[in-house]
Amino acid sequence: MANRVLEELNKILNILKMFPEGANIEEIRKSLSHALAFRTLQRYLKILVDQKKILSEGKARARKYKLITSDITKEKQSKGSILILSKEAQKIQLRVTKPIQKRASVNYHQKFLDSYKPNTTFYLSKILRKKLFEMGKTPDGRYPAGTYAKQIFHRLLIDLSWNSSRLEGNTYSLLETERLLDLGIVSEGKDAKDAQMILNHKAAIEFLIESANEIEINRYIILNLHALLSDNLLTDRACGSLRAIAVKIGMSSYVPLSIPQLLSENFEKLLKKANAIKDPFEQAFFLMVQLPYLQPFEDVNKRTSRLAANIALIKKNLCPLSFIDVSEKDYINGLLGIYEQNRIELLRDIFVWAYERSCFLYSTTRNVLGEPDVFRMKYRDSIVEVISEIVKKGMNKSQAILLIQRKAQKLIPSKDSSRFIEIVERELQSLHEGSIARYRLRLSEYESWKRKWI
C-alpha cells in the first residue's frame, strides 16, 4: 500500500482517538487538516473496517466509526481525554504492573545505548515525527531560538514547573504553584521540599530559555540543568556532578550501572548521540529514554530528562512539552518498560499523547484537538458555581485556593477531586472579559475581582 494512503489511514485513526463514542463521516472530514474527497474518505474507512482496526455502526447518515475497543486500554474520563495504547505498549504495561517479586532482576544493558545510531535509528516513526511537527509548529518558527517560549513564558513556567513536580509526588496545586512563583508565598502545611522543587524548576526553565540561542546537548548544559533542579535538595557535592555511588530504583527490578568510569563514558556517549540527532522530537524522546535509564546522577534524573527534552523544542520554536494530564502512574510504568525491558513503546505512546495535550493547552492545534472534555461536561455546573463565587466575592488567590479545596471535598467524589481543582484553577487563570458570560458574571464584577487577584 502506498505511503500516502498509510499516512491518511493513520490520520483517521488519530482523529477517532478523540471520539470514544464514535464519529460520523462528516465529523471525521471536518477534523482532517486538509480537504479529502467524500468517496476517498469512504474508501479509507472501508479499508480500516476490513483491517478490523475500526468498527462501523449504523446505516447511511447515522453510521458512526470508532476504534476497536480491544485497542483501547483505558479511557481517562477523569482527564477529559483518552490515552490509547498500541498493542505492544499494552503488553509492556501488563509486564511492569506485575508484583516486583515476579519481575526478574536486570542490569544495565550496554547494547541499548550502543545500538542507537543517530538519524538512522528512530524511536519515533516518520509518520509520528511529522504528526508531532504539524501539531507543534508555531508562527515563530523563523524567528530566533526561544522566541515562542518567551511569548508564553509565564504560562509555560507555571505549567511545566507544576506538572514536572507533580510527577515527583509534589503536593502543591496549580494555583499554589503560581502564587509561589509569582509572589514567593509558601503554602502552609506543605513540605519545604515541595516549594524548593518548584522554585528549582523555575530557575532551570529560565536557564533554558535564556540560553536558547547557544544551547546544545552537551556536558555543560546537562550538568548545570541538574544542578539547578537539585539545588538545596541534594548535597552541594552531588548537584551537577555524576554519581560515584550505586543507586537503586524504587519499585523496579532494574539495577543501574555502578562503576564510575563506565558511567562517565556512557554519559559522554549519550550526549554525543543526542546532540547529533536532527529531528527535535526524536532528540527529545531519546533524552527521556536514555537519561533516566543511565541514572547518571544520585537523584533528580527524571526531572533532568523532562526539561532536557524541551531543549530542542525551545530552540526550534516548537510548542514545548509541559506534561499536562500525564499521570504519575502512567509515566512510571513507561519508564519501567525502559528500565526492565528496554522497550520504548509504552513511554512513546505516553510521550505522543502528552505532546498532543501540551499543544492543545498552548492553542497551536485547536483545530486538530477539538474534542469536548467529558470531565468538564460532567462537572460543568459545579465549576461555574465555584468560579462565580470566587469572582463575585472578590477573592484573592489565597482565599480562592481554600474555597476550591473546600468545594471539591463537598461537591466532588474523592477520585475526581484533584482533577476538579486543577480545572477550576486553570479556568481562573484564563478568565477574561470575553469569557465571563460562561460563569454568569457581569463585567463590573470581573473588573473588581481582577484588581484583587494577587
In a domain, 369, yes or no: no
Domain-ending residue, one of 71, 104, 124: 71
Q: Is the pLDDT of residue 77 over 70?
A: no
Q: Could you tell me if 157 and 61 lie in one domain?
A: no
Res 276: pLDDT = 97
The cell for 368 is: 486538530
Res 227: pLDDT = 97
Ranked by mean pLDDT, which of 12-16, 51-55, 201-205 comes out on top?
Answer: 201-205
Q: Report the chain's mean pLDDT, rounded to a whole number.
A: 89
Q: Could you tell me if 247 and 289 lie in one domain?
A: yes
Res 265: pLDDT = 98
Q: Residue 84's pLDDT band (boundaries 50, 70, 90)? A: confident
Q: Is the pLDDT of residue 3 over 60?
A: no
Question: What's the DSSP call for residue 75?
Answer: E
User: Can you give the residue range of the structural domain that contains 384?
Assistant: 374-452
Give the CA distances from residue 249 to residues 72, 238, 252, 293, 339, in Å, rounded to whole numbers and listed in that order: 29, 17, 6, 10, 9
Q: What are the residues whose beta carbons fall under 8 Å from the beta carbon of 153, sequence distance 6 or more?
A: 209
Number of folded domains that form the chain = 3
The cell for 113 is: 545505548
In a domain, 156, yes or no: yes
In a domain, 80, yes or no: no
Task: Round to the nearest angstrom and report the end-to-end CA distance of the chain.
Answer: 58
* Cα–Cα–Cα angle for 349, 155, 305, rounded to 5 degrees: 40
Q: Residue 1's pLDDT band (boundaries 50, 70, 90)? A: very low
In a domain, 337, yes or no: yes
Surface-to-core class of residue 117, CB atoms within 10 Å of its CB (0-12 exposed, 13-18 middle, 19+ buried): exposed
Q: Could you tell me if 124 and 262 lie in one domain?
A: yes
Res 363: pLDDT = 62
Determine the 3-state secondary structure of 411 from DSSP. Answer: helix
268-276: which pairs have CB atoms within 8 A and are 24 or more residues apart? 268/219, 269/113, 269/114, 270/113, 270/294, 271/217, 271/218, 271/219, 271/222, 273/113, 273/116, 273/118, 274/118, 274/217, 275/216, 275/217, 275/218, 276/118, 276/119
What would the mean pLDDT of 189-218 be, rounded to a whole number? 94
Res 31: pLDDT = 77
What is the chain's Cα-based Rg?
A: 23
Question: What's the DSSP call for residue 190?
Answer: S
* The residue to which cell 548544559 is assigned: 221
In a domain, 147, yes or no: yes
40-43: which pairs have CB atoms within 8 A and are 24 or more residues apart? 41/12
- Cβ atoms of 317 and 141 closer than 8 Å: yes
Q: Could you tell me if 248 and 173 lie in one domain?
A: yes
In a domain, 201, yes or no: yes
What would the mean pLDDT of 37-62 be, rounded to a whole number? 83
Interval 257-308: pLDDT, tens: 999 999 999 999 999 999 999 999 999 999 999 999 999 999 999 999 999 9
Res 20: pLDDT = 67
Q: Is the pLDDT of residue 73 over 50?
A: no
Q: Could you tell me if 332 and 380 lie in one domain?
A: no
* The residue to which cell 447515522 is assigned: 62
Q: Could you tell me if 397 and 284 lie in one domain?
A: no
